[in-house]
Amino acid sequence: MRTVDEVQIALVEHLKADVALVALLSTSSQIKETQWQGAEFTYPAVRVENDVLPSIDGCSPDGVEITIYVLSETKTSKQCSLITAEIAKLLHCKTFTGTNTVKFLSVKVTRIPYPKQQEGQSIWQSPVQVTAQVF
């Protein structure tokens, strides 16, 4: 069984390795886990969280539910939409292995909502939802 941390590390590393995605963000350091607590928060940003659904028999691949939050502080939703689209292209119907040997199978982007502004703020947010199986 894979741990939540193993899956999250592999996914964050996979996103950071994508040149097109990093170009939209200006630096790969803007891709982090959702629970990251730092002194500075720079936009645009990508935050990753996931849940592991262990296989019942302990031998099959584990299920994973992933939410990737795209955040932007621009006047329009365009930047947020572009980043979201790049993440969907990078992941949907792909198989990949993280540097920590977590293998992602049957990766499916299941929902890409239109970016919305957070109430009372000028921050656009779009949560990309993904399911996968991991070994």
Q: Tell me the residue range of the domain where 27 lies.
A: 4-134
Measured over the CA atoms of residue 2, residue 8, residue 11 and residue 17, the dihedral's sign is negative
Nearest to 16 by CA among 26, 3, 6: 26
Closest by alpha carbon to 100, among 3, 5, 6, 1?
6
Q: Give the global pTM.
A: 0.94
* pLDDT tens digit sequence for 99-123: 889 999 999 999 999 999 977 888 9
Q: How much of the chain exceeds pLDDT 70, in percent?
A: 100
What DSSP string describes 50-62?
Answer: EEEE--SSSSSPE
Q: How far apart are CA 33 and CA 31, in angstroms?
A: 7
How much is the pLDDT for 36?
86
User: Does residue 75 contact residue 40 with C-beta atoms inside 8 Å?
Assistant: no
Give how many domains the chain has, as a whole number.
1
Cα(63)–Cα(2) distance, integer angstroms: 10
pLDDT band of 95, cuts 50, 70, 90 = very high
CATH of the domain at 109: 3.30.2000.20
Strand partners, 133: 63, 105
9 or 1, greater pLDDT: 9
pLDDT average, residue stretch 68-76: 95
pLDDT tens-digit readout, 7-47 = 999 999 999 999 999 999 999 999 999 988 777 789 999 99
